């Protein structure tokens, strides 16, 4: 699959305003961040990392369109969800819709975490996808950097899947949120790879 010449913006234009194009969704996952979490795997990634756990997430073609408000209701209707994780695919290509979703679930007391193949520096640069600043403003945790097979960490206790990735604690999780009163690391189990289904 060669996606390098794909212009993601042309495909992203096919997503109606207020919707997300996702690969999958689960409730109450305990292997994709601290606590019990709703996980959203977005559709579309340009990187083609060797040994990516979700190559089916690479195409930007429409896979599953879901209204942001519908997804918010679904997340909040499950009392076991104490947070939400964005994985993929590349979440930051759909930053405006995810920022909208994050704003709503945070207002209800959930915390929000995202994986990204970009570095935080790239996300803060002029070359970043549209709407990145709004999404960064909503995040409690960001794990940045693409998965690099040669730097893989094969330990269930590691917070990241490869040594180049970094964990950024953007907000104080203990200060707010359903079920997040205990120390972060006590909750944190490394996801099985980058964004694999639980």
104 vs 115, beta carbon nearer ligand SF4: 115
Give, as ranges, the residues between 102 and 141 that touch ligand SF4 (CB under 6 A).
117
The residue assigned the tokens 């639980």 is 198
Q: Is 150 exposed, middle or buried (0-12, 13-18, 19+ CB in 10 A)?
A: exposed
- Which positions ≥6 away from 109 have C-beta within 8 Å? 176, 177, 178
Torsion angle of the four alpha carbons 34, 114, 44, 102, in this order, in degrees rounded to the nearest 10 = 100
| 47 near ligand SF4, judged by CB under 6 A | yes
Q: How far is the CB of 179 from ligand SF4 (least distance, A)?
A: 28
43 vs 111, beta carbon nearer ligand SF4: 43
32 vs 54, beta carbon nearer ligand SF4: 54
Give, as ranges, the residues between 150 and 189 that touch ligand SF4 (CB under 6 A).
none
| 48 near ligand SF4, judged by CB under 6 A | yes
Applying CB under 6 A, among 54, 100, 111, 114 the residue interacting with ligand SF4 is 54
| 146 near ligand SF4, judged by CB under 6 A | yes
> Rounded to an integer, what distance in angstroms lies between the CA atom of residue 26 and that of residue 168?
24
Q: How far is the CB of 143 from ligand SF4 (least distance, A)?
A: 11
CA-to-CA dists, residue 170 to 5, 21, 29, 113, angstroms: 33, 26, 22, 9
| 145 near ligand SF4, judged by CB under 6 A | no
- Which range in 8-16, 23-31, 51-59, 91-99 contacts ligand SF4 by CB under 6 A? 51-59
**Strands across the sheet containing 19-29:** 64-67, 19-29, 37-42, 83-87, 111-115, 141-144, 166-169
Which residues here bind ligand SF4, judged by CB under 6 A? 45, 47-49, 52, 54, 57, 88-90, 117, 146-147, 194
């Amino acid at each position: 699959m060669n996606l390098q010449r794909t212009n993601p913006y042309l495909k992203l234009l096919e997503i109606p305003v207020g919707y997300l194009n996702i690969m999958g969704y689960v409730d109450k996952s305990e292997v994709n961040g601290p606590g019990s979490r709703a996980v959203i795997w977005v559709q579309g990634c340009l990187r083609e990392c060797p040994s990516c756990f979700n190559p089916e997430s690479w195409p930007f073609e429409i896979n599953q369109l879901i209204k942001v408000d519908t997804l918010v209701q679904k997340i909040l209707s499950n009392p076991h969800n104490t947070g939400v994780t964005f994985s993929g695919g590349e979440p930051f290509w759909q930053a405006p819709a995810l920022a909208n979703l994050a704003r709503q679930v945070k207002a209800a007391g959930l915390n929000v975490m995202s994986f990204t193949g970009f570095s935080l520096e790239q996300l803060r640069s002029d070359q970043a996808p549209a709407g990145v600043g709004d999404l960064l403003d909503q995040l409690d945790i960001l794990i940045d950097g693409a998965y690099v097979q040669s730097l893989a960490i094969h330990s269930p206790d590691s917070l990241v899947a490869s040594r180049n990735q970094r964990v950024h604690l953007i907000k104080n999780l203990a200060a707010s949120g359903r079920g997040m009163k205990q120390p972060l690391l006590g909750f944190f189990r490394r996801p099985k790879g980058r964004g694999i289904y639980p």
